[in-house]
Amino acid sequence: MIAPAEVVAYDPRWPLWFAEIAAVLEAHLGDLPHVIEHVGSTAVPDLAAKPIIDLDIVVPSAELVPAAVERLVAAGYQHEGDAGIPGREAFGLPPDVAYYHHLYVVVEGNRAHQDHVLLRDHLRADAVDRERYAARKRELAYLLTTDRTAYVDGKGALVEELLAKAGGSRAAGGSGRTAPGAPSAG
């Protein structure tokens, strides 16, 4: 499945898509202690976004990460390591998914988890910042077909500013990125 390469107006179906993806994941995760959270831009009503659902599978301790990874790999996901952001495990999609999505396993309360939730919640609550972020995404959208890394990096300074405003990673000493162009939610 090819990733959507456009920023579109908010679609009220996105929470429904999240619920469908989460239901499939629940079946694979079984009794493993976890919560599945809808993060990223599609989790923010009225925010323009790429039509890609971002999900965090949140486990209560680092000891449970290997079991979550094992179950997702058994379900057809490709484990991609942390993709340049410590504290999360990223996954490529199986070929038969209904909706394109970004999937991460994070430990509850770690920086990767906190940043996803803080940014989502801040953008839900602050209409001015939500529109600033949407405008930046639309401004950079032309890069989606040629240079996704530049698209992500182009949002970086504003994401850091918004996270700092929300008490996130800038206040904690940076985004946690270890590689230029590492993907971010939203």
Model confidence pLDDT, tens digit, residues 6-32? 889 999 999 999 999 999 999 999 999
pLDDT score of 48 more than 50: yes
Pair type for strands 101-107 and 53-59: parallel
> Which residues neighbour 31 within 8 Å (Cβ) at sequence distance 6 or greater?
none
Fold of 14-165: Beta Polymerase; domain 2 (3.30.460)
Give residue for tokens 């959270």: 37
Q: Quote the strand ranges of 44-180, DSSP E.
A: 53-59, 78-79, 88-92, 101-107
Q: At residue 129, what is the residue type?
A: D
Span 163-183, average pLDDT: 55
- Which pLDDT value is given to residue 3? 59
Residues 6+ apart with CB under 8 A from 113: 56, 58, 87, 88, 106, 107
Bridging pattern class, strands 78-79 and 88-92: antiparallel
Q: Where are the domains of the chain?
A: 14-165
- pTM score of the predicted model: 0.84
